[in-house]
Amino acid sequence: MHAAKGWTHSFDGELARYADFIRQTKPVVGVAELLIPGDPKPKTRTERIRNGVPLPDDTRAAIVNTAREVGISEVSIQRATSQHSPKKAKGNAINAK
């Protein structure tokens, strides 16, 4: 098991060096930045905490209808749905704030 731990540590170091190499590579014209798997996650999380999770209109409508069916007040529904970001043109966001 000790030998496996050393191998894993070595692999992690190689992976980190490879990721750094990719991130330092100059992107081709028309590409803003190079990303590797996992890179967008912190930015996406921050954006969704700030603006809510973007939802297609039909999904949002289904959630609102279900809320009505289970007895959530219209005031509560309006409060929750009015917090969506108006910048989302392709859908809406419901924010749990």
Give the whole-angstrom CA distance, residue 96 versus residue 10. 42
Structure tokens given for 96: 């749990």
What's the pLDDT tens digit per position in 70-81? 999 999 999 988
DSSP code at position 88:
-
Each residue's pLDDT, cut to its tens digit, for the chain (97 residues) gives 455 566 677 888 898 999 899 888 888 899 888 888 888 899 999 999 998 889 999 999 999 999 999 999 999 999 988 865 444 434 455 554 4
Based on the fold, state whether residues 60 and 26 are members of the same structural domain.
no
Q: For residue 5, what are its two tokens?
A: 């731990």
14 and 45 share one domain:
no
At 72 the pLDDT is 95
The count of domains in the chain is 2
Does 89 lie in the same domain as 51?
Answer: yes
Do 52 and 81 lie in one domain? The reply is: yes
- Please, which residues have CB within 8 angstroms of residue 53's CB and are 6 or more apart in sequence? 93, 94, 95
Phi then psi for residue 94, to 5 deg, are: -110, 125
Q: Are residues 20 and 47 in the same domain?
A: no
Instruction: Please give the residue range of the domain that contains residue 2.
Output: 1-36
Judgement on whether residues 11 and 58 belong to the same structural domain of the protein? no
CA angle (62 as vertex; 81, 51 as ends), nearest 5: 35
3-state secondary structure of 33: coil
Cα–Cα–Cα angle for 58, 62, 66, rounded to 5 degrees: 170
Is residue 88 within 8 Å of residue 54, measured between CB atoms? yes
